[in-house]
């Protein structure tokens, strides 16, 4: 009862304070330092450009309250509380780090504050009904990867290397294994690693003993790049599949030539944006920065635009009204379904590293449909390429 009254008091305080504030505060929860700082800083750059495009809402300036969550879930909770209680944040955006994301979402759920998350595979069961995610489920990445492995690469055995410290990685690994088995494949090794690992000799020995046809690595970009590089140096030449987590320039820089032909399953494409401001974002970003935005920057920017759009349609800074408007989505088209996921039908992409760049192909389902009896990623047909030749260059 005491907890309920405390949460109710905070909600009433926030609702009353925002009506008298001269500006509207939005908390931005990102790891600016620590292991995930590359993606956190990338997301922050996207949000800053988005804020420059739309710095006001309801006639009031928008104040961004950057919260450096680092890699400490307890610290993330405390800083999120500070944003809500001291800065009167009416909504939060973030986090990149899955453990932080869950901690923050639990905090906001108790206080009725909406949070638009950067991709999380475990919603809303783990994060509550006030956590909303503007892109499709990460579980679809695992399904796409499993089907590509069976139908395009024509493999029958796979080894999965996952991060035991990250539930994001554990969930993807489990879903891939389930889908791969259902499609007729066999998982010959499930191998663990952890954030911060740099020497993968033990994992590589287990891969050699298992002798799989393909590797699936649902781990973050640093560990993924180092593991692949060391595997190639150890004469392991089987195809490698990764997730959207590798789609940052540092992955290519760390792995060098060993990253060539790595297949990955990105979540971002040009028709991803739901808001009108989001649709203008790539051009605005390129005009300001001189290069195209990274997927993480685009997703973070769209999260900002979704919050502002919800405030406009709610005509209110009351977090409860913002949450309802977020669920409805721009132009009265549902932004998220009843379970907190994106309601927009997913059209999963597939990508491959070629000549030091991330090359995207238009549709994973179409690519699977042109499968050949080969284990060579270079057999991917150029006809599957996006019409705009979408690439992420690291030059």
Structurally, at CATH architecture level, domain 2-135+271-332 sits in 3-Layer(aba) Sandwich (3.40)
Query: Degrees (nearest 5) of the Cα angle 110, 113, 114?
Result: 120
Cross-strand bridge partners of residue 94: 29
Same CATH topology for 2-135+271-332 and 139-266+349-392?
A: yes
Provide the β-strand partners of residue 385: 361
* pLDDT (mean) for 322-337: 71
Residue 42: what pLDDT?
Answer: 92
Q: Which residue has the higher pLDDT, 96 or 151?
A: 151
Reading phi first (left if > 0) and then psi (alpha if -120 to 50, else beta), residue 263 is in beta
Q: Which of 274, 267, 268 minimizes the C-alpha distance to 328?
A: 274
pLDDT value at residue 91? 92
35 class by beta-carbon count within 10 Å (0-12 exposed, 13-18 middle, 19+ buried): middle
Are 251 and 221 in contact, with CB atoms under 8 Å apart? yes
User: 138 is written with which tokens?
Assistant: 């990460």
pLDDT at 17 exceeding the cut of 70: no
Separation of alpha carbons 203 and 243, rounded Å: 19
What is the arrangement of strands in the sheet containing 115-116, beginning at the earlier edge strand?
Answer: 56-57, 60-68, 24-30, 91-94, 115-116, 131-132
**95 C-beta neighbours (distance < 10 Å), count:** 30
Task: Report yes or no: 77 and 101 within 8 Å, Cβ to Cβ.
Answer: no
pLDDT tens-digit map of 52-88: 999 999 999 999 999 888 866 677 777 777 788 878 8
Are β-strands 115-116 and 157-163 bridged in parallel, bridged antiparallel, or unpaired?
unpaired
Is the CB of residue 312 less than 8 Å from the CB of residue 91? no
Say which residue the tokens 């300001």 belong to.
288
Buried (b) or exposed (e) across 60-80, using 16+ Cβ within 10 A?
eebbbbbbbbbbbbeebbebb
What confidence tier does 115 reach under pLDDT thresholds 50, 70, 90?
confident
CA 291 to chain centre: 21
Q: What percent of the chain has a predicted confidence (pLDDT) above 90?
A: 47
Q: How far apart are CA 391 and CA 254, in angstroms?
A: 19
How does residue 132 score in pLDDT terms, banded at 50, 70 and 90? Answer: low
Q: Which of 19-33, 361-375, 376-390 has the least mean pLDDT?
A: 376-390
CB atoms within 10 A of CB 21: 14
Domain ranges of the chain: 2-135+271-332, 139-266+349-392
3.30.70.1350, 3.90.25.10, 3.30.1330.10, 3.40.50.2300: CATH of 139-266+349-392: 3.40.50.2300
Identify the pLDDT of residue 126: 41
Q: How far apart are the first and last CA of the chain?
A: 58
């Amino acid at each position: 009862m005491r907890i309920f009254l405390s949460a109710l008091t905070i909600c009433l305080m926030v609702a009353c304070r925002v009506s008298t504030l001269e500006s509207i505060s939005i908390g931005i929860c990102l790891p600016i330092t620590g292991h995930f700082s590359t993606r956190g800083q990338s997301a922050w750059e996207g949000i800053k450009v988005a804020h420059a495009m739309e710095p006001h809402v309801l006639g009031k300036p928008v104040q961004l309250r950057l919260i450096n969550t680092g890699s400490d879930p307890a610290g993330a909770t405390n800083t999120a509380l500070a944003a809500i209680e001291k800065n009167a944040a009416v909504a939060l955006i973030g986090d990149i780090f899955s453990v932080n994301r869950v901690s923050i979402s639990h905090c906001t759920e108790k206080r009725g504050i909406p949070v638009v998350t950067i991709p999380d595979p475990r919603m809303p069961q783990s994060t509550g009904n006030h956590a909303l995610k503007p892109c499709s489920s990460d579980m679809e990445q695992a399904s796409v990867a499993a089907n590509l492995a069976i139908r395009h690469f024509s493999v029958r055995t796979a080894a999965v290397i996952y991060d035991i410290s990250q539930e994001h990685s554990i969930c993807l690994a489990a879903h891939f294994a389930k889908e791969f088995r259902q499609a007729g494949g066999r998982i010959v090794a499930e191998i663990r690693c952890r954030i911060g690992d740099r020497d993968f000799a033990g994992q590589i020995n287990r891969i050699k003993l298992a002798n799989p046809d393909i590797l699936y690595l649902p781990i973050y970009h640093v560990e993924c790049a180092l593991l692949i590089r060391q595997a190639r140096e150890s004469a392991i030449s089987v195809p490698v599949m990764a997730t959207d987590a590798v789609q940052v320039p540092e992955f290519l820089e760390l792995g060098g030539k060993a990253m060539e032909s790595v297949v990955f399953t990105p979540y971002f494409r040009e028709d991803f944006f739901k808001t009108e401001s989001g649709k203008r974002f790539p051009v605005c970003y390129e005009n300001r920065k001189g290069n195209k935005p990274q997927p993480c920057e685009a997703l973070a920017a769209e999260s900002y635009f979704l919050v502002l759009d919800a405030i406009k349609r709610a005509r209110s800074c009351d977090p409860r009204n913002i949450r309802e408007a977020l669920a409805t989505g721009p132009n009265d088209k549902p932004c998220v379904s009843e379970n907190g996921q994106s309601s927009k039908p997913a059209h999963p992409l597939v990508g491959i590293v070629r000549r030091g760049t991330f090359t995207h192909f238009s549709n994973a389902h179409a690519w699977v449909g042109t499968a050949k009896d080969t284990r060579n990623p270079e057999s991917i047909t150029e006809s599957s390429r996006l019409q705009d030749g979408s690439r992420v260059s690291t030059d």
